[in-house]
Amino acid sequence: MPLKRIIAGLNEFHDNYFNNHRELFQQLSHGQAPEVLFITCSDSRIDPNLLTQTQPGELFLIRNVGNIIPAYGTLNSGEGAGIEYAVHALGIKDIIICGHSHCGAMKGLLQIGNLAEQMPLVYDWLRHHAEATRRLVLENYKGYNSDKLLKIAIQQNVLTQIENLETYPVIRSRLHSGQLNLHAWIYEIENGEIFAYNADIGQFIPLDKSPFPVPNPLIATHSE
């Protein structure tokens, strides 16, 4: 896409969308109050606001290669700072980690040796923060073809990142008090469907009216 198309789009936005929603942007200039943190991949095929049909100011976003959240304490990451700000400062009530089909990061993870020389930074990122997913898939799903392994890796990576989220003190505190829900989603690019993890059956199933929050054992412990 040439830059001149981007500039034309900016002009189109200002002259049309912005002018038609001027009151909304005036309100947003005074602050934000999103209730959902949406964590997804940097992949250009993913547009969270388009997928969810939400307006500016409704989603707080974190995006990176592979929709990965480093576990608390592994490093001072931008992801960690974003999570802490979203939950503590903005009072986010729901966090969605949304993976997607045909994920290049997960393809790379399953063939990680090929990345070391060509993309060393991507190699380090995946090796440090997605090794649990790689090992789980390769050791427990032997004999599966590459397409099936990729689908499993995409799903397991989302669940691994949910577990990583739970290592953050601010997350555990809000989970304990029942003020926060975590959701594991997969977006299928080819058909536009969202699949949500249903822990009762241990599967990702099409998202309907139920958001399928990941069950929180801290709430059960708190209530006993």
Indicate left, alpha or beta for 184 from its phi (over 0: left) and psi (-120 to 50: alpha).
Answer: beta
pLDDT above 80 (res 211): no
Spatial contact of 129 and 105, defined as CB atoms under 8 Å apart:
no
pLDDT exceeds 50 at position 77: yes
pLDDT one-digit tens code per residue, 98-145: 999 999 999 999 999 889 889 999 999 999 999 999 999 999 999 999
Beta strand segments in 42-140, E: 59-64, 94-100
- Are the beta carbons of 44 and 100 closer than 8 angstroms? no
- The most distant pair of C-alpha atoms in the chain lies apart, rounded to whole Å, by 61
Residue 1, pLDDT above cutoff 70 = no
What Å distances lie between residue 16 and 6, 7, 39, 52, 164, CA to CA? 15, 14, 29, 22, 42
- 178 vs 93, 114, 120, 218, 222, CA distance in Å? 9, 43, 41, 9, 9
